[in-house]
């Protein structure tokens, strides 16, 4: 049973516009939420995170929003750049499971120049 879902396998956005990537989860015990970016033939790299006590965290062009009541996480990239083209995974963790992360299925973002 998939606890973490990214319902959009792919997304295309024009350069300069906003990219919005979504992630939904079922387990209300998740308390730490992360986004990873992955280029082909490379390992994922950490992008941004948010804890359950917040509803927004910003880092430059990247903002993560958390809606705990809806069990929904989103990543906004603005303005989008061609170098942002990659696969994005959300990753969630609960204190109950120690350091085990649960990953979404990924969204492939293409930013069109």
Partner 1 sequence: DVKVTQSSRYLVKRTGEKVFLECVQDMDHENMFWYRQDPGLGLRLIYFSYDVKMKEKGDIPEGYSVSREKKERFSLILESASTNQTSMYLCASTKNGGQGTEAFFGQGTRLTVV
Tell me which residues touch partner 1 (CB under 8 A): 4, 6, 9, 31-32, 34, 36, 41-46, 49, 51, 89, 91, 95, 98-101, 103-106
Question: CB–CB of 29/94 below 8 Å?
Answer: yes
The encoded tokens of residue 58 equal 């910003």
Q: Computed over its alpha carbons, how large is the radius of gyration of the chain?
A: 13
| Distance in Å, CB of 31 to partner 1, minimum | 7
Strand partners of residue 113:
none
* 21 φ/ψ angles, rounded to the nearest 5 degrees: -115, 140
Pick the closer one to partner 1 by CB: 74 or 94. 94
| Distance in Å, CB of 83 to partner 1, minimum | 18
Pick the closer one to partner 1 by CB: 4 or 109. 4
d(CA 74, CA 67): 9
Strand partners of residue 62:
59, 77
| Distance in Å, CB of 111 to partner 1, minimum | 20
| Distance in Å, CB of 67 to partner 1, minimum | 18
Pick the closer one to partner 1 by CB: 9 or 82. 9
């Amino acid at each position: 049973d998939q606890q973490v879902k990214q319902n959009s396998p792919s997304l295309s956005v024009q350069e300069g516009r906003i990219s919005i990537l979504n992630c939904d989860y079922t387990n209300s015990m998740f308390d730490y939420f992360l986004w990873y970016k992955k280029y082909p033939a490379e390992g994922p790299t950490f992008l941004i995170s948010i804890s359950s006590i917040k509803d927004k965290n910003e880092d430059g062009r990247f903002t993560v929003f958390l809606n705990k009541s809806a069990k929904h996480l989103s990543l906004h990239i603005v303005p989008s750049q061609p170098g942002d083209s990659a696969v994005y995974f959300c990753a969630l963790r609960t204190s109950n499971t120690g350091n085990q992360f649960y990953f979404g299925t990924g969204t492939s973002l293409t930013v069109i120049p």
